[in-house]
Amino acid sequence: MRYREIAVDEDITLFEGHEPGRALTFNTYWVADPQGAVLIHTGSRAAWPALASALGSRLESLRYVVVPHFEADECGAIGLVVDGRPVTVLAGPIAARQLTGFGLLEQVRTVRDGEWLSLGHHRLEFIGAPSEVHLGMGLIAYDHASRILFSSDFLGQMGLWAEEGEVSAGMEEMREHTMPCPDPFRGLAARLLSLDIQVVAPGHGSILRGRIRDQIRRYFGLTPRFD
Ligand SMILES: [Fe+2]
Ligand SMILES: [Fe+2]
């Protein structure tokens, strides 16, 4: 895996992972905060050496890891990430149960819909989200300070090095892959539409900065098509 570093905000950084020959990027987010940094998605275990090298000395300030659901790109490297570091892993009930079964007994904290992580500046609200992997109890996170939604596999796009403004086809493809039937996601869609989201930071593909409510409506099937 090769990573490139992209500034999302003044203290939020996207590490975009690219595997040669694969038309899908793997995004990890670094949220720097005076009270300790947050890593969102660890990437796979195989990718960790490259990601750790890209993160560099920042890792000394790591205090929290957010695992939106139990899948290799979201938490495959978790054992290597927590090893020897004073880190708390925040995961929904199903992912937390799996992680404790993999031996992370003390580091994992179960987080439920509506709970918050309030740091010195950033304030992440966790939002319960059906997951395409386990069809229940996934989590995504909205930072009220930066108004960024860390949407995990929602609102992401298939495609290679997707750039802003070229997301529609890739998003349609991702939606078909992860959410064949939108009905269980209506509540999540309504919740997201109630938030003042300025930026969507997905687990795959490009950062979304404009027409967020339109993108949410289309993605969740509230309007029929992407344009
Ligand atoms: Fe996933
Ligand atoms: Fe993912």
The domains located in the chain, with CATH, are 2-219 (3.60.15.10)
What is the pTM (predicted TM-score) of this model? 0.90
Ligand nearest to the CA of residue 134, numbered in listed order: 1
Measured in Å, residue 128 CA sits from the centre of ligand 1 at: 14
CA distances from 149 to 94, 107, 143, 159 (A): 21, 24, 6, 21
Ligand nearest to the CA of residue 203, numbered in listed order: 2
Measured in Å, residue 145 CA sits from the centre of ligand 1 at: 25
Sign of CA dihedral 123, 157, 93, 50: negative
Ordered per-residue pLDDT tens for the chain, 227 residues: 999 999 999 999 999 999 888 889 999 999 999 999 999 999 999 999 999 999 999 999 999 999 999 999 999 999 999 999 999 999 999 999 999 999 998 999 999 999 999 999 999 999 999 875 645 678 999 999 999 999 998 999 887 555 555 567 788 888 877 776 778 888 999 999 999 999 999 999 999 998 899 989 988 888 866 55
